[in-house]
Structure 1
Amino acid sequence: MFALVDCNNFFVSCECVFRPDLTGKPVVVLSNNDGCVVSRSNEAKKMGIPMGAPAFKYEPLFKQHHVSVFSSNFALYGDMSHRVMSILETLSPEIEIYSIDEAFLDLTEFHNLHEYGKRIHAQILKWTGIPISIGIAKAANKIAKKFLTETKSVYVLDDERKQDKALHWLKVEDVWGIGRTHAELLRKKNISTAYQFTQLPDAWIKANMSITGVRLKHDLLGMTVLSLEKISDKKSITTSRSFEKLFTDLDSISECVNTFAVSCAEKLRMDNLVCGTVAVFIRTNHFRQDLPQYSKQIVLPLPFQTNSSVELATFATQALQQIFVKGYHYKKAGVTVMNLVKESHIQPTLFENSNPKHRSLMETIDRINGIYGKHSIRLASQGVHKVWKVKQERISPCYSTKLSDVITVNV
């Protein structure tokens, strides 16, 4: 039996842990550059603030109803997520961390699942202050989150009657594993609930949703066929950001792309990896319909494998120059490194290879930046005075990750 553990309104919950005065009040957290709403308290949801709401459009409502608005504080959220997942790892023999606020637990060896779920819920809440919902068996988590008072955030589908009732209640688009595309396909076939989905022939599901869809159907019916996945090697690393303002010149965007390439290189070195391919994309702001739109990505195979910031920044610049077009107002760019292998498995080429001197240089730069702070030593191509960062006008303190921001308790 598997359990899905989901942190409720996670980003908002992280803010409320250190601001208990916000509990029971409307709170929202915004995306990068304070663009749109990505997390809402239950009170904000009841006010009709939708997920993805553009912040500038809802600013009057925020002020009218005294909604507390925060910029994304990913350092805080990442640390709180690590704390939650570390506790869960002690409570289950096997765990698959699915996202920053979700994890699957293997509870096959346990008997009184409802009581054990309550124990997990209580321990996470007591040790971190983060409220969670626990659904044991497919579809149960949605019920645990929807009916918090009745379920006390823990729900187990442990008999056929409960299972049948849940499948009739659950909308097909809310089934974990059914994405937007498949949900639209099923809707066209007049399939609106999870129960109707389970009544479809395996042959049709396999033809339209692959064998994974068939496994999902069987899992909904209580026949466990999907096991927890082992952590696999990284396939790619991406660094991307929206700009604080629109840029039209190549030099400004080039500085940004160079910074993203350096960030990817640093992540590669942290994991002792090298890459063989780099991809760069740029795009305009699709919300600005008054401006011409443009979006382009290029994938550039590298002549050799590398994790050198200097070399990756050079290749990323070359890629950017091939897709940059004058006359557009650019809002976002990103760099992805792919074809990753362990540094110890580098295969030298006959004619061209990474500069061997860069290895000791990168080690020195990483060590100095680790001591004196990120960006203490930077490439000139990143810009001498600029440090590319997202707009965060309403960011909270880094309560748990920065010593100067640790809360003070007066007794």
Structure 2
Amino acid sequence: MFALVDCNNFYASCERVFNPNLREKPVAILSNNDGCVISMSDEAKHLQLPFGAPIFKWEGFCKANDIEILSSNYPLYGDMSSRVMSILQQFTPDVEVYSIDEAFLEFKGFDTYDFNDYGNQIRQRILKWTGIPTCVGVAPTKALSKVANKIARKFPKETKGVYVIDSEEKRIKALKWIKLQDVWGIGRGLQKRLAAKNCKTAFDFTQLSDDWVRKHFSITEWKLKKDLEGISTLKLDEIKTKRAIATTRSFEYTFSDIDNIKERVSTFATSCAEKLRKQESSCHMIIVLLSSDRHKKDLEQHRVSRVVKLSYPTDSTLTICKYAVEAVTSIFKEDIKYKRAGVIVTGLVPTYNHQLNIFEQENPKHKPLMTVIDSINKRYKDYKIKLGNQDLERTWKMRQERLSPRYTTDINEIIKIK
């Protein structure tokens, strides 16, 4: 059996844990730079505030409906997610963290368990230990556990947050209820193609023949069909080494001077290098991206990238930053208002097992230096050691005018009891 544990309105729920005044009040969470709505509470959904709504257009609507608007507090959300996932590992060793607010669990050797009771134990422990409400869907396959979770979320009073598909009758009833566009793994393109075959629900999809599905679609869609039929074909994903690592961000404001842009690119390159070392990889290629504000049609637009090929693989922050800054300097144009930049490292190879270059090699002093810097930054958090061309005060410059305290990750912002 598989279970999908999903945190309800995760970002809003994290804010409510430490600010009880937000409970039962409509709450909306904004994207980076306070751009648009990316998460909201059920109360805000009922007021029909749309996802992705640009806040500058909807601020009047939010004030009129007393919707609390908050900036994204990623340190808080990340820490709360880590706490939830560590609790899940107490119920089974087989856990796949699917996103920041949901995870798949596989129950091997749990044949005698009452999964409805076990699901309630999971919900109650997470709620008691973190304050985060969840829903649990249990079924014989991953795809069906997604369906079961949607039922638990849709009918909280009837299910009490837990729904188990443990019979053929329940499976068929659930598949006839869920619309095709709500099925995990079916996107808009696939939905349109299936609509031509008069498929409106998940049950309609399972009634197609295996031969027809394999002929007209890929093995992925066939596996999804079998999973919905109750035949497990989708297993828990193992943690894989990434083939490319990217750090891209919008700026807090538009920049038209090269110094500010070089500082941002240096910070992004530092982040990529740290991620490389974390997974013990080195890169052969660096891609630097630079873009103007595409929303301001009245201004001159400039979107460009530059690829830098290295003669030897590296995971050194010093080397990657050097070439990234040189690349962005070469593609920068005067009098353009830039809004976004990014650094991508690719051509990845294992750091301790790759082809050597007989003529050029990394400076041998870089390896021990990077090890020391990583250990200090890990111990003291908040990036105590940075390159000289980085902003020493902030790592990510974002407009966050409605930011709540980092209650769990900054000792200066913890709750004070009076």
Give TM-score scaled by structure 2 length: 0.90
Matched, 1:314 2:322: yes
* Structure 1 residues 387 and 83, CA gap change in structure 2 (3 angstroms): closer
Structure 1 position 278, deviation (Å)? 1.9
- Three-state SS of the structure 2 residue aligned to 1:396 is coil
Amino acid in the other structure paired with 1:115 = D
- Three-state SS of the structure 1 residue aligned to 2:262 is helix
Matched, 1:330 2:338: yes
Which residue in the other structure is 1:119 paired with?
121
**Identity rate, percent:** 49
* CA RMSD across the alignment: 2.3
Which residue in the other structure is 2:85 paired with?
85
User: Which ranges of structure 2 fall in alignment gaps of 5 or more residues?
Assistant: none
Structure 1 position 382, deviation (Å)? 3.4
- Three-state SS of the structure 2 residue aligned to 1:277 is strand
Mapping of residues 227-376 of structure 1, within 5 Å: 227-321=235-329, 323-325=331-333, 328-366=336-374, 369=377, 374=382, 376=384
Mapping of residues 377-396 of structure 1, within 5 Å: 377-382=385-390, 388-396=396-404
Which residue in the other structure is 2:24 paired with?
24
How big is each residue's C-alpha offset from its partner over 1:349-378, in whole Å with a ceiling of 9 and x where there is no partner?
A: 122221222223334444555567645443
Which residue in the other structure is 1:46 paired with?
46
Alpha-carbon distance in structure 1 between the residues aligned to 2:411 and 2:106: 36
**Which moves more between the two structures, 60-69 or 247-256?**
247-256
* Structure 1 residues 155 and 290, CA gap change in structure 2 (3 angstroms): farther
Amino acid in the other structure paired with 1:20 = P
Amino acid in the other structure paired with 2:62 = F
The answer to whether the 8 Å contact 2:27/2:68 transfers is yes
Structure 1 position 284, deviation (Å)? 3.0
Mapping of residues 211-222 of structure 1, within 5 Å: 211-222=219-230
Amino acid in the other structure paired with 1:148 = P
User: Which ranges of structure 1 fall in alignment gaps of 5 or more residues?
Assistant: none
Amino acid in the other structure paired with 1:64 = A
Structure 1 position 289, deviation (Å)? 3.6
Alpha-carbon distance in structure 1 between the residues aligned to 2:395 and 2:417: 34
* Structure 1 residues 387 and 13, CA gap change in structure 2 (3 angstroms): closer
Alpha-carbon distance in structure 2 between the residues aligned to 1:384 and 1:90: 40
Which residue in the other structure is 1:96 paired with?
96
The answer to whether the 8 Å contact 2:265/2:343 transfers is yes
Give TM-score scaled by structure 1 length: 0.92
* Structure 1 residues 334 and 144, CA gap change in structure 2 (3 angstroms): same
Structure 1 position 345, deviation (Å)? 2.0
* Structure 1 residues 407 and 391, CA gap change in structure 2 (3 angstroms): same
* Structure 1 residues 284 and 187, CA gap change in structure 2 (3 angstroms): farther
**Which moves more between the two structures, 11-20 or 223-232?**
223-232
The answer to whether the 8 Å contact 2:37/2:54 transfers is yes
Structure 1 position 186, deviation (Å)? 2.8
How big is each residue's C-alpha offset from its partner over 1:179-199, in whole Å with a ceiling of 9 and x where there is no partner?
A: 333234334544332112212
